[in-house]
Amino acid sequence: MRILVAAFSHIFSEVIGPNGSFTDSRGLTRDTFSIKIELESEKFNFIVLGDWGGLPPPTYTSDLQLNGAKALMEYAKINPPEYVISIGDHFYYNGVETVRDRAWERTFENVYDSQEMMVPWYPTMGNHDWLKLPEGTEGGQKGNGWAQIEYSAHGSGRWTHPDLFFTTEYTTSAGVKVKTILVDTPTLTGEYRDGAPRPLHSDENCEDPYNLDCELRALHPLDVDVAEWAWEWLDQELAKSVDADFLFVTGHYMILDTGGIYDWELFRRMEPLMEQYKVSAFFQGHKHTQEHAVRSPKLVPAGAEESPGTVHFFTTGAGSLYDTESTIFQQLTGGLPGRSGCHPRFEENGNDNSRSVCNYYWATTKKDGDADSGFTSVNVDAERARVRFVTSEKINEDDEFTVGYEFDINPRNV
Ligand SMILES: [Fe+2]
């Protein structure tokens, strides 16, 4: 299938080496990692899977994760992916301590074990991957994200996690290039326990998410220096992506979803950049739903004309835990949404809550072992990138999975 067999086997079985470096304006230099693959086919699929981390020992997995994994593997038989983007919360609830943690085998290797899953997995970590147990806990504190990077040299070899921040570029035989920039969002804004970064004060200025002077609370980047380096690295990566037909960015935390802005720091620093550089979509997890939202036309910097958002935000964090409609929507809106739609309260206004426009919303209505989970499939050709939300729901007896929503993204016009 692949032309670059040598490059692929290198990725598949070893920790990939850096192929560049970047120095930020403060003088910090870090190695950079860009994985480039040329395909023989004119089109290809990839999967985005979030929040699939099973349960802690002794179970390691859950019925819900297994339901979703079965649906994913059945779907992949028909639509084999070239790779899987894994967007965090890989191991509930406290990550792994080392590359020898049994969770690698029990939560990952033995669960996603079909032939079609033996492709590169490109991860970016979630809060639970960094979440540590109290000091002195027997067996260690876990939450060691660096062990997840180190695991690239272990196991089945498909785990391909060269650094906290890296890129992939897949080019089809027709010359269609898909670039993905993976960012470790806890490193950027923190492994926060008291909610996402949001305004510290409720004064008028802080109503404007674009106001960088407005102080945010719960903002504790895991590494301030690396975070500042990463903001500059992201800017230059986006700037040099002009030849990408589809440009994706992905990270664990939601930036914008059907409820509005989630992480204000990510929104105010990343969303304008992504619009400026014509990013096609941002894939996010953290919330255990499937959603498609764009920025509301009303949400623009002070004094600017109203304009619709151009970046599609796809939430796909339903790999192994569930937020029922009641828990999530009561939190966000005080009401209940339709089965597979957006909140009725927004409908009279085009599903626009003044922060975001909701195009699609799904959460399982079942509980515990009966609940459904899901993942996202992206099918790319020269005409479009077709994003599909797939769930383990069985509408008919013989169903192995259900495609709940489909949306076509046009190639960039840069
Ligand atoms: Fe999370």
Instruction: Note whether residue 374 is domain-resident.
Output: yes
pLDDT tens profile 154-165: 999 999 999 999
CA torsion sign, 398 to 405 to 248 to 325? negative
Instruction: Note whether residue 219 is domain-resident.
Output: yes
Indicate the number of domains in the chain: 1
Q: Residue 189 is part of a domain; what is its CATH number?
A: 3.60.21.10
User: Against a cut of 0.85, is the pTM above it?
Assistant: yes
Span from the CA of 366 to the centroid of ligand 1 (angstroms): 21
Instruction: Note whether residue 233 is domain-resident.
Output: yes
Span from the CA of 290 to the centroid of ligand 1 (angstroms): 14
Span from the CA of 186 to the centroid of ligand 1 (angstroms): 9
pLDDT tens profile 114-129: 999 999 999 999 999 9
pLDDT tens profile 298-348: 999 888 999 999 999 999 999 987 665 545 544 444 444 443 347 655 555
Ion ligand 1 neighbours, Cβ < 5 Å: 89, 126-127, 286
Q: Which pLDDT belongs to residue 203?
A: 75
- Does the pLDDT of residue 228 top 80, yes or no? yes
Q: Name the percent of the chain lying above pLDDT 90.
A: 70
Contact between 401 and 96 under an 8 Å Cβ cutoff? The reply is no
Q: Where are the beta strands (DSSP E) in 324-401?
A: 356-362, 374-380, 385-391
Span from the CA of 330 to the centroid of ligand 1 (angstroms): 19
Q: Which residue has the higher pLDDT, 208 or 122?
A: 122
Span from the CA of 32 to the centroid of ligand 1 (angstroms): 25
User: How confident is the model over 401-408, as a mean pLDDT?
Assistant: 94
- Provide the terminal-to-terminal Cα distance of the chain, rounded to the nearest Å: 30
Span from the CA of 33 to the centroid of ligand 1 (angstroms): 25
User: How confident is the model over 24-31, as a mean pLDDT?
Assistant: 98
Span from the CA of 118 to the centroid of ligand 1 (angstroms): 25
Q: Tell me the pLDDT band of 200, cut-offs 50, 70 and 90.
A: confident
Instruction: Note whether residue 373 is domain-resident.
Output: yes
Instruction: Note whether residue 414 is domain-resident.
Output: no
Instruction: Note whether residue 124 is domain-resident.
Output: yes
Domain that includes residue 306, residue range: 5-409
Contact between 177 and 170 under an 8 Å Cβ cutoff? The reply is yes
Surface-to-core class of residue 38, CB atoms within 10 Å of its CB (0-12 exposed, 13-18 middle, 19+ buried) = middle
Instruction: Note whether residue 302 is domain-resident.
Output: yes
| Mean pLDDT, all residues of the chain | 89
Instruction: Note whether residue 141 is domain-resident.
Output: yes
